[in-house]
A = this chain, B = another copy of it.
Amino acid sequence: MPIPSDHSKPVRQSAKESAFNQLQQWIIDGTLLPGEKLNDNEIAKALGISRTPVRESLQLLEVQGFVKMYPGKATQVTEVEKESINDLLPPLAVLQALAAELAVPNVDKDILEKLESINERFKDAIHSENYYAALKIDEEFHQIIVDAAGNKYIYDIINDLQAHVRRQFFHNSIVLTEQSIEEHEMIIKNMREGNGEKVSTIMKENWVRAIEEFRSVNKG
């Protein structure tokens, strides 16, 4: 009998990690509502683990800004203020722009092909009005660029901000529009030509436009 060549490590997931992932998902998608009280004892029972890993994951979620702990009193899910998208997108915009600029020297044929392929799927998602799919695919697109930038600080920060954007999507219906498709194409084009400054500019405009669209939808 042949030995399975698949040496995929089971990536032993600790109780803390699975609790963290589960809770984060629930908070992002609204299963756990803003303001909801989180009793670590209850959560522990619900997840079939003890309070220790639950408490630990709650603390990590607090650093991320998804929960707020009031020592000795309570732990609750943070609010989702519509306006916070206005605080969220500007730093994301400048960091994505920076990432794109840093990525340019590292861009090769393989990366360009990936970006084109992802943008095709993005186009399909927009046209079929699968907006959550579109958001996820858009994240993939930008993730390729962030990876290519090869800067772990930017990587971590963007990851964190994106999680909050995802939460805003569920709570306040952020949507991506047709126009993003063309902007992605422009990004690819200028990356191919090695024009870092132009890429950075377009990238920033891509996000700034998203901010303004959001504002006009919600205020107009």
Chain A residues with a Cβ under 8 A of chain B: 12, 14, 52, 55-56, 59-60, 63, 65, 71, 87-88, 90-91, 94-95, 97-98, 102, 151-154, 156-157, 161, 164
Name which of A12, A52, A63, A164 has the most chain B CB atoms within 10 A of its CB: A63
Given A56-B56, A60-B63: A94 and B87 interface contact (C-beta under 8 Å): no
Partner of A91, one of B52, B55, B88, B151: B151
Given A14-B71, A71-B14: A91 and B60 interface contact (C-beta under 8 Å): no
Question: What are 29 A-B pairs at a CB distance below 8 A?
Answer: A12-B71, A14-B71, A52-B52, A55-B56, A59-B59, A59-B60, A60-B60, A60-B63, A63-B63, A65-B152, A65-B156, A87-B152, A87-B153, A87-B154, A88-B153, A90-B98, A90-B102, A90-B151, A90-B154, A91-B95, A91-B98, A91-B151, A91-B153, A91-B157, A94-B94, A94-B97, A95-B95, A153-B161, A153-B164
Q: Which 7 A-B pairs have the closest CB atoms?
A: A94-B94, A87-B151, A94-B98, A91-B154, A87-B153, A91-B153, A63-B63
| Supplied contacts A52-B52, A90-B102, A91-B151, 10 more A-B pairs, CB within 8 Å | A56-B59, A59-B60, A60-B60, A87-B152, A90-B154, A91-B154, A91-B157, A94-B97, A95-B95, A153-B164
Q: For residue A16, which residue of chain B has the nearest CB?
A: B59
Complex interface: chain B residues within 8 A of A151 (CB): 87, 90-91
Q: For residue A64, which residue of chain B has the nearest CB?
A: B63
